[in-house]
Amino acid sequence: MKNLIGIACVVLSAAAFSSAQEKNDLEALWKDPTFKREFVAGYGVNSEIEPRVTPEEVKILDKIRPLMANDLPKAAETLKKSMKPDGSAMLDFNLGGICYQQEQWDGALQAYRTAVGKFPAFRRAWKSLGMLYARNENFDAAIEAFTKMIQLGGADAYSYGVLGLAYSSKQDFQAAEAAFRNALLLQPENTQWRLGLTRSVFKQQKYEDAAALLDVLIERFPDKAEFWVLQAHTFIGMKQPLKAASNLEAVDLLGKATVENLQTLGDLYVSESLMDLAEHAYLRAIEVDPKQPAARPLRAAEFLTARGAAPQAKRLAARVRAAFEPSMDDADRRKLLKLEVRLSMADGSGDEASAGVLEEIVKLDPLDGDALLMLGQYHARHDAPDRAIFYYERAESLEAFEVNAKVRHAQLLVGLGRYADAIPLLRRAQEVKPREDVARYLEQVERLAKSKR
């Protein structure tokens, strides 16, 4: 099951939870017409909590208000000419709004900063600052601005939602969760807030919460593959691989499954010993993108082999050869050859031919530990212990293969009754990488050695 969590982490870190996704969420927000209306609405004055304006400044605002609907550049020019350094922060706030509507982001930021400098309790100006800081990916400043606004008693769904996005971008998922929950409370139908909350709880490994939130999203948007995939990974986190597999099958039925989705589906089936279903998923992964690198399908065939699913692995390896052989690099070609040899040796078919292939591989790459080990096994099985020991000793000189080669070597010696010679090999294997099965085997060999003295 640890493998399943690893599967989830790889996919999610590459897709659903990337910083690029947070940026996309912000860009979508800026295009939201409801948000735009709320952002630029209300240039009037709430005298109880906002800066006061003099009668002369009221006249200025009345003068530019019609221009703001029809001629923004002229509105900005007229307002700037009428403003004084010690004038009301409300004029700076309106200038910020005009700059924002013209996408003059630096000018808007400067105007809003001036407004809160003159009137530090100006909630709407703090909100506008927070939104613009978030847009510019200055998330520390955005969080500070929204926090100030909330402390002043002002909060709305958009402020909480963008605050959640800012915290998510900083990987502070507890704070993001709190912000998104508040945003969702105020706008329960907002998909963006629900998805942001889902990501936040998932990152905290609150998989049950994430799955429940995704139930709602999938019900609303059954054709959205990303929701099905994200929920699949919550089920992996909940150690419910068959539920996860069901979700990924749904994605395939939608016609939106990726190579990654189908490879993960195959891995899930292998974890549940459903080898025929795993083979079918891996084959579909090849069909989705026949031009993909051969490494992933090869890994799948090796995974099946390691789990004892030789017939399924053999068919998958044949499909890999048919689909990818012309474009394979030398490393993948050798890997496929070794896999085919291993499968042939396992069922006894083409044993001698397989040994010939392995000899060719070793000639091409004398440091290929897999091939050396398999040659040792071949010769051990065909009553050629000296040849087997020769290949095992070569494999023992390679750090990555030392332990397995020494254990195989020791087993051969035990079969020959040379118990005392096998003991140093097993002790060295335990020294490099302790294993319970080897420890038990070593004890048995030591007892046999003593009994022969």
Residue 15 has pLDDT above 80, yes or no: no
Residue 67 has pLDDT above 80, yes or no: yes
Residue 451 has pLDDT above 50, yes or no: yes
The pLDDT tens digits of the residues spanning 148-188 come to 999 998 889 999 999 999 999 999 999 999 999 999 999 99
Q: How far apart are CA 414 and CA 447, in angstroms?
A: 12
User: Worst-scoring range by mean pLDDT, 50-64, 289-303, 345-359?
Assistant: 345-359
**pLDDT value of residue 447:** 93
> How does DSSP assign 346-415, residue by residue?
HHTTTHHHHHHHHHHHHHH-TT-HHHHHHHHHHHHHTT-HHHHHHHHHHHHTSGGGHHHHHHHHHHHHHH
The pLDDT tens digits of the residues spanning 44-65 come to 445 557 899 899 989 999 988 8
**pLDDT value of residue 334:** 84
Residue 146 has pLDDT above 60, yes or no: yes
The pLDDT tens digits of the residues spanning 386-422 come to 999 999 999 999 999 999 999 999 999 999 999 999 9
Residue 317 has pLDDT above 90, yes or no: yes
Selected residue with higher pLDDT from 374 and 403: 403
Q: How far apart are CA 223 and CA 55, in angstroms?
A: 57
Query: Which spans in 41-88 are helix H?
Result: 55-70, 72-82
Two tokens at 391? Answer: 């290949």
Q: How far apart are CA 78 and CA 64, in angstroms?
A: 7
Selected residue with higher pLDDT from 27 and 10: 27
Q: How far apart are CA 193 and CA 182, in angstroms?
A: 9
For residues 285-303, average pLDDT: 94
Q: Per the confidence metrics, is the pTM higher than 0.75?
A: no
- Burial (CB < 10 A; 0-12, 13-18, 19+), residue 338, is buried
- Coil, strand or helix: which one is 441? helix
* Domains of the chain and any CATH numbers: 32-132 (1.25.40.10)
Least Cα distance to 21 among 179, 171, 245, 125 occurs for: 171
**pLDDT value of residue 368:** 86
Contact between 76 and 99 (Cβ < 8 Å): yes
Position 323 confidence tier, pLDDT thresholds 50, 70, 90: very high
**pLDDT value of residue 29:** 62
**pLDDT value of residue 358:** 81
Q: How far apart are CA 105 and CA 27, in angstroms?
A: 14
For residues 73-93, average pLDDT: 91
Position 355 confidence tier, pLDDT thresholds 50, 70, 90: confident
The pLDDT tens digits of the residues spanning 203-213 come to 999 999 999 99
Selected residue with higher pLDDT from 451 and 116: 116
Look-up of token digits 């140093």: 424
Instruction: Compute the mean pLDDT over every residue in the chain, rounded to the nearest whole number.
Output: 88
**pLDDT value of residue 11:** 37
